[in-house]
Structure 1
Amino acid sequence: MAAVRKLQLCAVSPTGKHSASVIFLHGSGDTGQGLRAWVRDVLVPDLAFSHIRIIYPTAPARPYTPMRGALSTVWFDRYKITQDCPEHLESIDTMCSTLGSIIQDEVSAGIPKHRILIGGFSMGGAMALHLACRYHPDVAGVFALSSFLNKGSVTYQAVEERLRARLPIPELFQCHGTSDELVFHQWGEDTSLRLRKAGMNTTFHSIPGLYHQLSQPEMELLRSWILNKLPYSTIPS
């Protein structure tokens, strides 16, 4: 078996004892450092906590079909950017394995999986949904900002199967701007509705006038949700 490729990480350490972690995935073409800087610019006084480590990985550069095969830092490939298009599962599953090593590193450092959140912006949110719902459903939850899944996503089937088997399903937090380009807001809302129908506990926030970007109101909502899911604890349990 080939060794799992290690990703470059940018992290914000807690000011106190580390007892929980958030893995925050950037959008297509960005980097972990870029997302971290964006979050810091948008949210005052920053997305930082006394007990939570925030991890911003960078996707490896790969040929990206919507860019005619040009290299881009994307979590997976897409045949094209349409809701009806099949998913590029080979690249998605490979990246799930790679990102899983970050989760394992946190567990090895003493952080239980139920004290870990996974999320992302745009493509990063879609990647987080695959990672949490299909491979690590025992994490504390998943968040997706300006993100959507394709109509036929295998993630819906994975959630349905866990519901039938009465197995835990992570909670989903979503935000999407009403002024997002094309029909992305509708795609994001459709994703939330399909996951809810499949059996997932979902919360969807529409942010008025927001385009395909982060905003302070959105990040304030996210910060409150993170603290609700990962309350302060000096000793992981």
Structure 2
Amino acid sequence: MAAVQKLKRCVVPQTGKHTASVIFLHGSGDTGQGLRAWVHDVLAQDMAFEHIRVIYPTAPARPYTPMHGALSHVWFDRYKISRNCPEHLESIEEMCSNLGAVVHDEIRAGVPEHRMVIGGFSMGGAMALHLACRYHQDVAGVFSLSSFLNRDSVVYQVVEGAAGQPLPELLQCHGTADELVSHAWGEETSCLLKKAGMTASFHSFPGINHQLCRPEIELVRSWILKKLPSGSCRGGGL
């Protein structure tokens, strides 16, 4: 297995005592700094909290098959952008290790997993589902925006195999006019995760293409506050 790579991170610090963390993953071809700037543009301010640190990691540049092998900041490779092909598990596993280091850095800072939320936009949402459902099931929740999982995704198998065990709650959002990742793909992902046993909610945003919108980010922000209410950490630390 390749050595764990330390990822670049853009951070919006909490304004008070740090008792919780959000890890927000960008879409393909973007960066952590780019996603933070996009969220800022949509909200006219950072998505900031009194007690929650928001971390925007950047995926390392790698050859990306849908771009004919050109280098791009992507969390994993794809054979093609489709629900009906196998996942590129080797690259997904590598990135789960790299992002796991981000989670463990927060734990070392005194924030236990149950005081974290992991989420992402587009490819970042799929990556968040792999990371949270397969390796960090104690996190408070996972959100997935304009995202999908392949129909044979190992995530479905893991969720189904975790019957009776706690899993993070999923918040999923998708624009109905998405021309890159079909709204139907996202809705099918939500249905299959629910069928496998995951608690999930799916929210449609009429007329929205493959983009963030203010009502969506405001919904995500409110949901994060419900999952990570203010207060001291318990059961965490070094």
- Shorter-chain TM range is over 0.9
Instruction: Give the corresponding residue for 2:222.
Output: 224
Instruction: Output aligned runs, 1:1-237, within 5 Å.
Output: 2-163=2-163, 166-181=164-179, 184-237=182-235
Q: TM-score scaled to structure 1, two decimals?
A: 0.97
Structure 1 residues without counterparts, runs of 5 or longer: none
1:167: Cα distance to partner?
Answer: 1.4
1:3: Cα distance to partner?
Answer: 3.1
- 1:232 partner letter: S
Would the alpha carbon gap of residues 69 and 57 (structure 1) be closer, same or farther in structure 2, given more than 3 Å must change?
same
Would the alpha carbon gap of residues 105 and 193 (structure 1) be closer, same or farther in structure 2, given more than 3 Å must change?
same
- 1:154 partner letter: V
Q: Deviations over 1:96-118 (max 9, x none)?
A: 01100000000011001000000
- 1:204 partner letter: F
1:2: Cα distance to partner?
Answer: 4.8
Q: Deviations over 1:4-63 (max 9, x none)?
A: 110000000000000000000000000000000000000144310000000000000000
CA contact (8 A) 2:146 2:181 kept: no
CA contact (8 A) 1:29 1:72 kept: yes
- 1:223 partner letter: R
Would the alpha carbon gap of residues 17 and 207 (structure 1) be closer, same or farther in structure 2, given more than 3 Å must change?
same
Secondary structure at the aligned position of 1:181 is classed as: coil
- 1:216 partner letter: R
1:183: Cα distance to partner?
Answer: 5.7
Give me the whole-angstrom Cα distance separating, in 1, the residues matched to 2:29 and 2:49: 27
CA contact (8 A) 1:177 1:185 kept: yes
Structure 2 residues without counterparts, runs of 5 or longer: none
Runs of 4+ more than 2 Å apart? 234-237
Give me the whole-angstrom Cα distance separating, in 2, the residues matched to 1:220 and 1:70: 35
1:235: Cα distance to partner?
Answer: 4.1
Secondary structure at the aligned position of 1:214 is classed as: coil
CA contact (8 A) 2:174 2:205 kept: yes
Paired residue total: 235
- 1:37 partner letter: A
Q: CA RMSD in A?
A: 1.1
- 2:24 partner letter: F
CA contact (8 A) 1:19 1:236 kept: no
